[in-house]
Chains A and B, each alone.
Chain A
Amino acid sequence: MAKGKDSVYSDYFDFDALPDEELIRLFQNDELAAYDTLVRRYRDQLYLFAYRFLGNQQEAEDVVQETFLRLFRKRHAYRQIAKFSTWIYTIAGNLAKTELRRRKRRRLVSINDMGFDEKEFEIEDEGMDTEREADSSMTDKLIQQAISELSPRFREVIILRDIQELSYEEIGSILRIPLGTVKSRVNRARLKLQAKLKAIKPENK
């Protein structure tokens, strides 16, 4: 905060070392390198969220791209009262939910697509560890499929908590729900997922 607008352009920053809130402030002063740093910092985790939420690589990329475009366009809408991570996750989450509704409207995904027919179910785990065995990857697919069958409100909490490993407090801020609600919703989501995943046996791994 000590640096005025003049020094924003005069100096070279080690942008990677700056906290999110400082970067967005620089970006609000048209410092594009700060935008780039934020993109690199959040790209992978937002993509992971969107990918697990939507179960589709292309849609996930679209959502994350749109999130960053919104960040670009609406940089001045951000106020320092909120954490940047919360703000950007809220944008991505809303866009992902919109995408889900749009998909339903367009009927792009039929019941069969979400069913157990593997040919129809197109999940490509690009980042998958090559050492994983075939039956394990099958389980990954089944887990993703079960996640996709959860309603959006359970889906988002389980992704944020168990896949992205955010704290309950952060999840509460992103979803704007009380801490107790987050905890009980996570528990219910896990139980629902467990019910859907009876195929996974404890001795599998």
Chain B
Amino acid sequence: MSLCNRVQKLFSAYHEGELAEDQRIAFEQHLEECSRCRENFSAFQVVCRRLKELPKPKPTPYFDAALYYRVRREQSHASRYTVFPVPSWRTVPVFAAAAVLLVFLGAQLQKAAMDKQIRELAALNDLLRQNAEASAHFVVTQIDTTANRIKVIKYVNTRPAGVEWVNYPAQASRRTLIDRDADGYPDLRRAPRPATGLFSPPSSELNGARVIQASQYQF
């Protein structure tokens, strides 16, 4: 390999100041002596600089809207239990589940209670989805049966706009809990579309979020 070729291999290292002192001196010495390498290295530096100066274009203004649409479609295509997964044993015959329960009765009692709650959540959210407006909907993420409350996230245009624990009377049925209220949703429909981001509400909306209230439901 000629000296010029070896020097060429060091172009980047020299350009980025990574050469050891003795290498750097030898490099510079060669450049002084070899006009071809000198010209090449000069052009090399120009290329490096021009690459850094290249414009940095951004996506079109439609990018967010298109992604938002695709993510929404993705969500609606997803399994109804994607957000709150239900154990796969739901799909096996009931007697198999019953047998498992019999064998591991003690341990399963607690698990069954949790699964029941998960199913309850899924059912609640199914009903909420059916009643959802295009602009706003609620998702119940937890049921706290000991304190008679549910945790609700409000979404405006699929963006979380508020989170709140909502108390409900102990005797409330699932249906009465999430039935659409005549006063609640129309107001939410008028909620302004967030100006930034896909899901993040602007801070003003966060603060002034009209979060679901238990009183809005007819128990």
Contacts and interface: CB of A to CB of B under 8 A. Distances in A.
Interface of A: 9-12, 15, 30-33, 35-37, 39-40, 43-44, 47-48, 51-52, 57, 60-61, 64-65, 68-69, 72-73, 124-129, 132, 139-140, 143-144, 158, 162-163, 165, 183-184, 186-187, 190-191, 193-194, 197-198, 200-202, 204-205
Contact of B163 (A9, A35, A65, A68): A9
A200 B46 contact: yes
Contacts, number: 144
A175 to B, nearest CB: 17
B200 A9 contact: no
B47 A33 contact: no
Say what secondary structure dominates the interface of chain A.
helix
Contacts of B58: 44, 47-48, 126-127
Nearest to B44: A194
A190 B44 contact: yes
Interface of B: 8-9, 11-13, 40, 42-60, 63, 66-67, 70-71, 74, 83, 141-142, 151, 153, 155, 158-160, 163, 165, 197-200, 206
15 contacts: A9-B141, A10-B165, A11-B163, A32-B155, A32-B199, A36-B200, A44-B58, A57-B57, A61-B59, A73-B74, A125-B55, A183-B12, A183-B13, A194-B40, A205-B46
Nearest to A184: B9
B215 to A, nearest CB: 21
B52 to A, nearest CB: 6
A88 B58 CA distance: 18
A12 to B, nearest CB: 6
Given A39-B197, A69-B71, 17 more contacts: A11-B163, A32-B199, A36-B198, A36-B199, A43-B63, A44-B56, A47-B59, A61-B60, A61-B63, A65-B70, A68-B67, A73-B74, A124-B57, A132-B55, A163-B51, A187-B12, A197-B43
Given A9-B151, A15-B200, A72-B74, A140 B54 contact: yes
Contact of A190 (B11, B83, B153, B206): B11
Given A35-B199, A39-B67, A127-B55, A194 B47 contact: yes
Contacts of B163: 9-12
A32 B59 contact: no
Contact of A163 (B8, B52, B159): B52
A158 to B, nearest CB: 7
Nearest to A191: B8
A143 B66 contact: no
B83 to A, nearest CB: 6
B160 A32 contact: yes
